[in-house]
Amino acid sequence: MKKVGWIVILCLIVNMGIPGSPLATEEIFEIHFVSEAWENVTHADGTGLCWELFRMVYEPRGIQVMFEIVPYARATNMVQQKQADASVSVYLDEYDNALFSEWHYLQDLVLAIFKKGKVTTREGEKSLSGKIEWMRGYAFNEYLQTEVKFYEVDTRKSGLKMLERDRLDFFLDTEVKLHEALQEGYIDIDAFQVETL
pLDDT value for 149: 86
Determine which of 52-56, 136-140, 193-197 has the lowest per-residue pLDDT on average.
136-140
Phi, psi of 168 (to 5 degrees): -150, 165
pLDDT value for 187: 94
DSSP class of residue 17 equals: P
Q: Nearest CA to 54 among 65, 41, 38, 69? A: 65
pLDDT digit string, tens, across residues 73-126: 888 889 888 899 988 877 766 777 777 777 766 677 899 999 998 887 777 788
From residue 128, how far is each of 123, 133, 163, 188, 193 by CA, in Å? 9, 11, 14, 21, 13
pLDDT value for 128: 86
DSSP class of residue 103 equals: S
When the pLDDT of each residue in the chain is averaged and rounded to a whole number, the result is: 81
Distance of CA 64 to the CA centre of its chain: 25
Q: What is the percent of the chain with per-residue pLDDT over 70, rounded to a whole number?
A: 82
149 with 131: CB under 8 angstroms?
yes
Domains (ranges, CATH) in the chain?
4-106 (3.40.190), 109-196 (3.40.190.10)
pLDDT value for 100: 72
Q: Which residues of 99-129 are buried (b: 16+ CB within 10 A; e: fewer)?
A: bbeeeeebebebbbbbeeebbeeeeebebbe
pLDDT value for 25: 52
pLDDT value for 146: 83
For residue 34, give the 3-state DSSP assignment: strand
For residue 175, give the 3-state DSSP assignment: helix
Q: Is the pLDDT of residue 39 over 90?
A: no
For residue 3, give the 3-state DSSP assignment: coil
pLDDT value for 6: 31
